[in-house]
């Protein structure tokens, strides 16, 4: 089982063999992870899976991840929970420098989790995507092609163009 220590989730490589070790943990991410994203809060992410050595002596990390992050509604800026779930299947070399290993032969998988979670963040999200909302405010109105209004100052020009088109 992976162990959570502070902001790290370690896999003890000394306990990993061909059968692997089971990972069944829950993690939370602090503000240092969230600061450059649109995620407002990310807690209680559940990770279930296993890590094992492959025939080629590489560490294979397979797991199911699910949870929800708090995003801001694209129109109202109200916070709301956005659920996610996905599978991770990573093949890592024990000597890989991009993943933190230390003298005790523990592998920190928080970066792997974080990289995959960020891929799940939508560019724009709505709390209630089918909800109607006002397309006007004080002194402004959003106009689409169907509701296009003719500026009264240009009405005589439009009449001339229509008259020319009929001739």
**Residue owning tokens 């094992």:** 52
- Above 60 in pLDDT, residue 1? no
- Above 50 in pLDDT, residue 3? no
Q: What is the mean pLDDT of residues 145-156?
A: 75
End-to-end CA distance of the chain: 83
**Residue owning tokens 């089971």:** 22
Q: Is 24 helix (H, G, I), strand (E, B) or coil?
A: strand
- Above 50 in pLDDT, residue 143? yes
Residue, of 14 and 133, whose pLDDT is higher: 14
Q: How confident is the model at residue 133 (pLDDT cuts 50, 70, 90)?
A: low
Closest C-alpha to 110, from 121, 119, 102, 99? 99
Q: For the segment 44-80, what is each residue's pLDDT rounded down to a tens digit?
A: 999 999 988 888 888 888 999 999 999 998 888 899 9
142's tokens = 């959003």
> pTM for the complete prediction?
0.66
DSSP state, residue 94: T
For the chain, the structural domain boundaries read: 3-118, 136-166
């Amino acid at each position: 089982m992976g162990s959570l220590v502070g902001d790290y989730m370690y896999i003890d490589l000394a306990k990993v063999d061909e059968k692997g070790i089971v990972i069944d943990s829950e993690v939370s991410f602090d503000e240092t992870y969230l600061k450059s994203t649109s995620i407002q809060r990310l807690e209680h992410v559940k990770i279930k899976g296993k890590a094992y050595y492959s025939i080629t002596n590489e560490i294979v990390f397979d797991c199911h991840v699910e949870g929800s992050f708090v995003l801001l509604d694209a129109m109202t800026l109200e916070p709301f929970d956005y659920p996610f779930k996905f599978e991770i299947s990573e093949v890592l070399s024990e000597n890989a420098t991009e993943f933190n290993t230390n003298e005790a032969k523990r592998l920190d998988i928080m970066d792997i989790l974080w990289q995959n979670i960020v891929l799940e963040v939508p560019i724009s999200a709505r709390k209630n995507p089918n909800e109607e909302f006002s397309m006007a405010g004080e002194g402004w109105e959003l106009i689409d092609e169907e509701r296009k209004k003719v500026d009264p100052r240009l009405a005589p020009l439009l009449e001339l163009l229509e008259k020319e088109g009929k001739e």
